[in-house]
Structure 1
Amino acid sequence: MDRRPDIDIDALTRALDVHSLRILVAIDQTGSISAAARSLGYSQPTITQHVQRLEARLGAALVVRTAR
């Protein structure tokens, strides 16, 4: 299996905890951060901040943001 040398699997594993994965799955399943927040029982700003911190740690955009 080819591995990209620029990916640090250990850092990725540390950054992606079960809570973060649960949030990302909820965003994917519901189609929006707001709907994911409601389904998980959090406020939209809390989920947005969590995703922003996770994206900063990973150095990659995880959610495509669009205007209403």
Structure 2
Amino acid sequence: MVSWAYITAETRCRHYMIDQLKNGKFIIIGEPKVHRSLHDMILYHRKVKISNWDHLLTLSCGQTS
């Protein structure tokens, strides 16, 4: 499974691909860290910047469909 993550900043929107691995864990494509859940991924990146962006995640939004 591959899904898209949309992250908005003051001046732009960032798009990241999130993959669910065969073991059920999640990873942002291009990042080294694997996360047990999407919730864990959000919590982690509220404290640790995504490698190609100089910002932290602050909010998550659910998918409606």
- TM-score band, normalised by shorter chain: under 0.3
Structure with higher Rg: it is: 1
* Structure with greater helix percent: 1
Q: Normalising by structure 1, report the TM-score.
A: 0.27
* Structure with greater strand percent: 2
